[in-house]
């Protein structure tokens, strides 16, 4: 007797974090841990790319999206049938305009590289309105053949 196995889709990871630098660091570490429980190797290129993106987006949520008394949220979801790992970082600040690709920075600039890294590491990313309040930056990573 032969059985056909369907790919296992792990439960999405959803967590709110305090809008502090510690919250941003914890978000990055917990997403990496969660990817490990899903079977992704901690040192794999995919996990390192996701870690970089989550770290940058969480830092942006804390630095630019902070609203007093409001947390930011991270959601990681593996869409096996689509071959995509999606990571959303949402904050409470509502300025959600059209997504802008990062402008080139000078070599001595002290900041402004976050979205440059997101653009380089994610296969696709976008800015999404988070009604009724806030915005979400969504990054996607191809995982075809990984599972």
Q: For position 49, which CATH number holds? A: 3.30.565.10
DSSP code at position 75: E
Residue 58 near residue 22 (C-beta atoms within 8 A): no
Residue 14 near residue 41 (C-beta atoms within 8 A): no
pLDDT at 85: 96
Contacts of 52 (CB under 8 A, 6+ apart): 117, 121
- Has residue 120 been placed in a domain? yes
Residue 54 near residue 27 (C-beta atoms within 8 A): yes
- Has residue 87 been placed in a domain? yes
- pLDDT by residue (tens digit) across 6-52? 456 789 999 999 999 999 999 999 999 999 999 998 889 999 999 99
- Has residue 99 been placed in a domain? yes
- Has residue 5 been placed in a domain? no
- Has residue 48 been placed in a domain? yes
Query: How open is the CA angle 92-14-130, to the nearest 5 degrees?
Result: 30
- Has residue 90 been placed in a domain? yes
Question: Structure pTM?
Answer: 0.83
* Domains held by the chain: number: 1
- Has residue 131 been placed in a domain? yes
Percent of the chain with pLDDT over 90: 53
Distances (CA, A) of 37 to 9, 88, 111: 12, 19, 33
Q: Which domain holds residue 55?
A: 13-104+112-142
What average pLDDT does the segment 56-70 reach? 85
Residue 95 near residue 125 (C-beta atoms within 8 A): no
- Has residue 6 been placed in a domain? no
């Amino acid at each position: 007797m032969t059985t056909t196995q369907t790919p296992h889709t792990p439960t999405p990871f959803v967590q709110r974090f305090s809008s502090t630098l510690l919250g941003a660091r914890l978000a990055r570490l917990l997403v990496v841990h969660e990817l490990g429980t899903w079977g992704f190797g901690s040192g794999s290129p995919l996990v390192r790319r996701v870690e970089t993106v989550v770290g940058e987006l969480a830092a942006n949520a804390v630095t630019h999206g902070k609203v007093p008394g409001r947390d930011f949220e991270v959601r990681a979801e593996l869409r096996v049938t689509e071959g995509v790992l999606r990571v959303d970082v949402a904050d409470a600040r509502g300025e959600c305009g059209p997504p802008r690709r990062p402008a080139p920075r000078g070599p001595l600039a002290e900041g402004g590289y976050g979205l440059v890294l997101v653009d380089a590491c994610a296969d696709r990313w976008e800015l999404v309105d988070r009604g009724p309040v806030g915005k979400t930056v969504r990054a996607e990573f191809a995982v075809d053949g990984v599972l």
